[in-house]
Amino acid sequence: MDSIVVTGGNELHGEIPISGAKNTCLKLMTAAILSDQPVTLTNVPALSDIRTLTELLQSLGVEIAQLQNGHVMVLSAEQIASRRAEYEIVRKLRASFNVLGPLLAREGEAEVSLPGGCAIGARAVDLHLKAMETLGAEIELREGYVHASAPNGLKGAIIEFPLVSVGATENAMTAATLAKGTTVIRNAAREPDTVDLARCLSAMGAKIEGAGTSEIVIEGVDALHGCTHRVIADRIEMGTFMIAPAICGGEVELIGGRRDLVEAFAQKLEQAGVEIIETDRGLKVSRRNGKVRSVDVRTEPFPGFPTDLQAQMMALMCLADGTSVLEETIFENRFMHAPELIRMGAKIDVHGGTATVQGVETLKGAPVMATDLRASVSLILAGLAAEGETQVNRVYHLDRGYERLEEKLRAVGATIERMPGS
């Protein structure tokens, strides 16, 4: 397996372009199933997760053409050749489960493998299934597959989620676009990804109101048409690169960055002493006055502090002045990067869903192991600020969510390279 070697100590200066949002793009790709006309997506990130979902959609009969080095994708689901999403693909990518709603809405039937386990928690699909049942689908679980059918079509209904779920909200949204009547989704996810999906569906002819609020209203239509849609900027990649100059020093402009996508996170950085300036091209982030200050963080659904930026924030807090408390409320098992940061000299005490981080003067480079996507990049950030060399192993996780990471960091002065595995 490949590893990434980082030599710390360099300040960062320059520009980093922000790629299209991975999580958004995946859901936009599944939405293409809803129409027999082509859907064109631009600003598509070139990532392994995108390739995995491409493979799944092609197995269902969706024709996919990729242009401009994969950054433009044309998806044509003129005919659905299969309604079965196989385990061998779904197990690699949880977002694959979101083909359920579009297949059921358009074809009246779907067989989708259960996603299986996850390194950062169980993340059961119960809310997805209950939403489909509320819309009139019959659900059976057999041999690890969800067998869903709605021979007479889906019918609008009131879906009340007991807790906020981005994936379940988006699955319900796509299914409801072709349901008969009106669907109301209450306690809906408010994430920018969900809002962008609603914009794309509306461009395809769906009637959706309330995206970005806790109540989404969808009036079903008979059919959807094709459209061209630009994927929004990836707020998690943007937040990650906002931490880079904060932990290393220097000033970096994030081209295409938008503060409104990460407002709660940006406020925490500013409390820590990081300067964030909005420009006509994005965001300029700098740390000029010594160490950052410790701040406490509690992850929450949007518009709160994103769980996908918790590991990166912990890396920054390892070098902060004072003691910080990070509380993880979204996923269990999401502090697996903490033991690896401790190997580099961090002082971290984890109890259940809370981590207490006492800032230290310096981190020391060491061999460390990535456990998941965001943990991977937190170790690279720590390595950028550490003394000496840090080798991050098992970085295949990184390729799921960060496009050209090493190249982007090298361009602003980092000493970082990928070492091919044997």
Q: Please give the annotated binding residues for phosphoenolpyruvate, written as ranges.
A: 22-23
> Residue 165 has which token pair?
């779920």
Q: CB-side exposure of 203: number of CA atoms within 13 Å? A: 20
Task: Name 42's bridge partners.
Answer: 72, 230
Q: How far apart are CA 334 and CA 380, in angstroms?
A: 17
Annotated binding site: 22-23, 94, 308, 330
Phi, psi (degrees; rounded to nearest 5) at 402: -130, 120
> Which of 302, 330, 325 lies closest to 314 in space, CA to CA?
325
Vertex 238: Cα angle to 233 and 239 (nearest 5):
135
227 belongs to the catalytic site = no
Residue among 241, 178, 186 nearest 204 (CA): 178
Alpha carbons 360 and 347: distance in angstroms, whole number: 7
For the annotated binding site for UDP-N-acetyl-alpha-D-glucosamine, the residues are: 94, 308, 330
Q: Per the residue annotation, which of 25, 118, 200, 248 is the catalytic one?
A: 118
Structural contact between residues 28 and 200, judged by C-beta atoms closer than 8 angstroms: yes
- How many other C-beta atoms lie within 10 A of the C-beta of residue 261? 24
Tokens linked to 80? 């659905």
Polymer length in residues for the chain: 422
Provide the angle, in degrees to the nearest 10, between the axes of the packed helices 100-107 and 166-176. Answer: 10
Q: Is 253 exposed, middle or buried (0-12, 13-18, 19+ CB in 10 A)?
A: buried
CA pair distance 131, 175, nearest whole angstrom: 9
Handedness of CA 305, 331, 333, 373 (dihedral sign): negative
| Secondary structure (3-state) at 347 | strand
Residue positions annotated with a catalytic role? 118
